[in-house]
Amino acid sequence: MNKIEAKHRIEKLSEELRKHNHRYYVLDNPIMSDFDFDKLLKELQVLENEYPEFLDANSPTQRVGGSVTKSFTSKEHKFPMLSLGNTYSQEEIRDFDNRVRKMLGDQAYSYVCELKYDGAAISLTYINGELAFALTRGDGVAGDDITNNIKTISSIPLKLQGDGFPEYFEIRGEVFMPLKGFENMNKTRVDGGLEPFSNPRNSASGSLKTQDSSIVASRPLDCYLYGVIAAERVSNSHFDSLNKAKAWGFKVPPFIERCENVDELWAFINKWEEGRHKLPFEIDGIVIKVDDLDFQEELGNTAKSPRWAISYKFPAERQATILESVSYQVGRTGAITPVANLQPVELAGTIVKRASLHNKQIIEQLDLYLNDAVWVEKGGEIIPKITGVIKEKRAVDAKMVQYIEECPECETILIQKEGEANHYCPNEMGCPPQIKGKIEHFISRKAMNIMGIGAETIDLMFENSLILNYADLYKLDRESLLPLDRMAEKSVDKILQGLEESKKVPFERVLFSLGIRFVGSTVAKKLAKEVGSIEELAKQNFEQLIAIDEIGDRIAQSILDFFDDEMNLENIAVLKAFGLQFEREEDDVEGSDVLNGASFVVSGVFSLFSRDELKATIEQYGGKNTSSLSKKTAFLIAGDKMGPSKLEKAEKLGIKIISEAEFKAMIE
């Protein structure tokens, strides 16, 4: 394929992928399988790597992320992002309508009603039909540039379709996290030994300010756009301009209605106050806007809010019920979580029977007694929580909730670690929930990824004394497994095959699977690269550990504690005997030490390498990747569109700035 043919093929693939992406994420009407889509995307990636001169910043391949933004640049909004005033009653809605009528006089007007999405407000700017940059709301005058992260959200078009859009315009909307995606993401985090996120709203907002865009790409984010702003209007009607935006490829919400009077406004509010619990995402109210843009201009703004729009906030739903008892759960790390067992009550569309009490301090703050009448709310519309006690209903002989002193599973005396709110069971090797939790972590996808074994299978094996720790998994055989309930030959073969395949898992994932506290998958990868083997890691002292990039005091002490435990050492010995990988495979590359441990920071857009390829090559040739500039940084590899602040800092610190061509010359 020559250059001309490659250029045409890249353009054709890009256009085809954009169309299918729009059908899948915006119209929810795919006509191509995921397999075929991925196949075309891979072909495009290969061609763009081979012909980097034809790589478009808004290519479909740029949605996978990979760029790292150490600090987000503040950028002024061309049109201020004002916040809306809030109302909470029908009377306040009528007051708003009276103010509008008074200012507009006898002119006939209508409203547009929209759902108020519970996420993070954003502003997208398009120039000549392509996404130019994306900003957060910030203080309304200026926001943070989050363009790299926004590009990873598949429902946001990078290039527009059709015609009729202004040369330069903004479109505003809300990035949110659908409830199902939030639930699945938290399950994955828990399976990986991480803390679950608290609610979809904070998860969406936090994701947009995550420095690594590849992490943002892995989050189940979506976006609705609901406001076109342009110097040259596309319509005098807000409602009609949204329909035009829909034709350009934007995901405009279908939950929008025109209303002619307050009664219709209130009917819309009532409909969604009830219907919101059936939506696949969270809303916290309704937004009401005057439809005519000339009228919006005539009504104007206050210093903080538009006079032509207002929001109605749903009251936080809560119900009174009875605290029947408090039980205690033991997690994989031994953390104790108190749980309130409630008289069942319907809340936000579901029956609530339990609510987390988090820790001893929360129980004391609430001043809880057994059989108290309590107020229960759903935090973020997801997690039930007790928000207060109706003390006037407390019985005279009621007994105060006493936090337990012993583990509810193994009766070991609980401990509270310095600086932590939770209490812990220290019996790691003898407490059943901790043992089973560690085994579940060991077999999880990001760890050993052992097929054929799940939580129920682990329970079955543990109850039959076949496994008492994760090392025992490799002692399993057909004779011990076949007699178990619901265990057929096919299931046994799958388990044994999964165990055999796991022996090929690289050291970094084996290290993560051991469940060392605070050692997640990223830290495990860093440690595996730096120390090379489990033997070397076990030899490290505190000072040596904290000298490794990104290893702090807490992680270092946790590693030392892990290797001080004789049972952990015995488990490692068993796993080594069964052939698991406890040593990092060396890269078989001639001249792999040519960079001699020098630290590099990679910044900007490159043509000879992708950012990931650059970083991999640095490591391959004996260098180190660091995320930020410091006195220890030896080289800054500068690409196109690198921020001026990073360049200025590098010059100030005396760091050598090189191009990717100069880097290539170094390793050659």
What are 440-489's pLDDT values in tens digits? 999 998 899 998 898 899 999 999 999 999 999 999 999 999 999 888 89
CA 378 to chain centre: 21
Question: What was the pLDDT predicted at 590?
Answer: 42
What's the confidence (pLDDT) of residue 436? 95
pLDDT value of position 65:
57
Query: What are the structure tokens assigned to 394, written together?
Result: 């407390």
The two tokens of residue 292 are: 């005519």
In words, the CATH class of domain 75-313 is alpha beta
- Topology of the domain covering 318-407: OB fold (Dihydrolipoamide Acetyltransferase, E2P) (2.40.50)
Written as six digits, the tokens of 309 are 């729009």
Q: Of these residues, 7, 70, 116, 246, which one is catalytic?
A: 116
Q: Where are the beta strands (DSSP E) in 441-589?
A: none
Look at residue 592 and tell me whether its pLDDT is greater than 60. Answer: no
pLDDT tens for each residue of 637-660: 988 767 666 788 788 888 999 999
Q: Check: CB of residue 244 under 8 Å from CB of residue 235.
A: yes
pLDDT in tens, 233-257: 889 999 999 999 999 999 999 999 9
Q: Is the pLDDT of residue 587 over 60?
A: no
The pLDDT score that the predictor gives to residue 627 is: 62
Q: What are phi and psi of 357, to 5 degrees?
A: -105, 0
Residue 102, classed as helix, strand or coil, is: helix
Q: For the chain, which residues make up each domain, given as ranges?
A: 3-64, 75-313, 318-407, 432-502, 507-577, 599-667
* pLDDT of residue 593 exceeding 80: no
In this model, does residue 79 exceed pLDDT 80?
A: yes
Cα 528 from Cα 512, distance rounded (Å): 10
pLDDT in tens, 8-57: 888 888 888 888 777 766 676 777 776 777 778 888 888 888 888 888 87
| ∠ Cα 395 401 405 (to 5°) | 155
Identify how many contiguous H helices and E strands the chain contains and give both numbers: 24, 22
Instruction: Say which range, 8-22, 224-238, 407-421, has the weakest mean pLDDT.
Output: 8-22
Is the pLDDT at 1 greater than 90? The verdict is no
Q: How large is the greatest C-alpha to C-alpha distance in the chain, in angstroms?
A: 88
pLDDT tier for residue 380 given thresholds of 50, 70 and 90: very low
Strand partners, 131: 126
Burial of 488 (0-12, 13-18, 19+ CB in 10 A): exposed
Residue type, 259: C
Contact present, 143 and 75 (Cβ < 8 Å) = yes
In sequence order, which residues have a C-beta less than 8 Å from that of residue 528 and are 6 or more positions away?
Answer: 506, 507, 508, 511, 584
pLDDT at 60 over 60: yes
Q: In 3D, which of 338, 356, 515 has the Cα closest to residue 436?
A: 515
What percent of the chain is modeled with pLDDT above 70? 94
Whole-model pTM over 0.75 = no
Residue identified by tokens 């379709």 is: 161
Distance CA 608, CA 617 (A): 12
Q: What single string gives the DSSP state of each residue in 128-143?
A: TTEEEEEEE-TTSSEE
Alpha-carbon gap, residue 161 to 133, rounded angstroms: 18
Instruction: Identify residue 153 by its one-letter amino acid code.
Output: I
Residue where the block lists tokens 């002292």: 541
The CA distance from 496 to 484, in Å, is 15
Q: Using an 8 Å Cβ cutoff, are 521 and 459 in contact?
A: no
pLDDT at 501 (0 to 100): 94
pLDDT for 606 equals 82
Q: Is the pLDDT of residue 418 over 90?
A: no
Share above pLDDT 90 across residues of the chain, in percent, rounded to a whole number? 54
**Is 3.40.50.620 the CATH classification of the domain at 3-64?**
no
Whether the CB-CB separation of 45 and 55 falls below 8 Å is answered with: no
403-412 own/partner pairs: CB under 8 Å, 24+ apart: 403/338, 403/360, 403/363, 404/328, 404/336, 407/330, 407/336, 407/431, 408/327, 408/328, 408/330, 408/336, 409/330, 409/433
Give yes or no for a contact between 321 and 343, defined as CB atoms under 8 angstroms apart: yes
Which CA distances in Å does 228 have to 63, 170, 524? 23, 6, 46
Q: Render 540-578 in DSSP notation, one character per residue.
A: --HHHHHTSTT--HHHHHHHHHHHH-HHHHHHHHHHHHT
Q: What average pLDDT does the segment 551-567 reach? A: 93
β-strands 130-136, 120-127 pairing: antiparallel
pLDDT of amino acid 508: 92
Report the alpha-carbon distance of residue 640 to residue 636 in Å, rounded.
13
CB of 264 within 8 A of CB of 291?
no
The mean per-residue pLDDT over the stretch 352-381 comes to: 88
Sign of CA dihedral 530, 532, 533, 535: negative
Q: Which residue has the tokens 């006089």?
A: 105
116 assigned to active site? yes
Same fold, 3-64 and 318-407: no
Cα angle 372, 373, 375; round to 5 = 125
Tokens found for residue 341? 């067992």
Q: What is the pLDDT of residue 242?
A: 95
Could you tell me if 245 and 278 are in contact, meaning their C-beta atoms sit under 8 angstroms apart? no
DSSP, collapsed to helix, strand or coil, labels residue 387 as: strand
Question: Residue 235: what residue type?
Answer: S
Residues 21, 62: Cα–Cα separation, whole Å = 13
- Name the CATH code of domain 507-577 (choices 3.40.50.10070, 3.40.30.10, 1.10.150.20, 2.60.40.420): 1.10.150.20
Is 229:80 a contact under the CB 8 Å cutoff? no
Question: Parallel, antiparallel, or unpaired for β 142-144 and 74-76?
Answer: antiparallel
Looking at the predicted structure, is the pLDDT value of residue 156 above 50? yes
CA 271 to chain CA centroid, Å, is: 31
The DSSP call for residue 397 is: T
pLDDT for 275 beyond 60: yes
CATH tag, 599-667: 3.40.50.10190
Average pLDDT, the chain: 88
Question: Does the structure show a pLDDT above 50 at 591?
Answer: no
Residue bearing the bigger pLDDT, 610 or 334: 334
Contact 403, 360 (CB under 8 A): yes
Q: How far apart are CA 381 and CA 104, in angstroms?
A: 39
Predicted pLDDT at 365: 93
Q: What is the pLDDT of residue 381?
A: 46
Strand order in the sheet with 111-117: 86-87, 309-313, 283-290, 111-117, 257-259
The top-level CATH class assigned to 432-502 is mainly alpha
Candidates 121, 130, 140, 224; CA nearest to 168 is 130
Q: What 8-state DSSP symbol labels residue 281?
A: S
Q: Residue 6's pLDDT is what? A: 84
Interhelix angle 179-191/200-208, rounded to 10 degrees, is 80
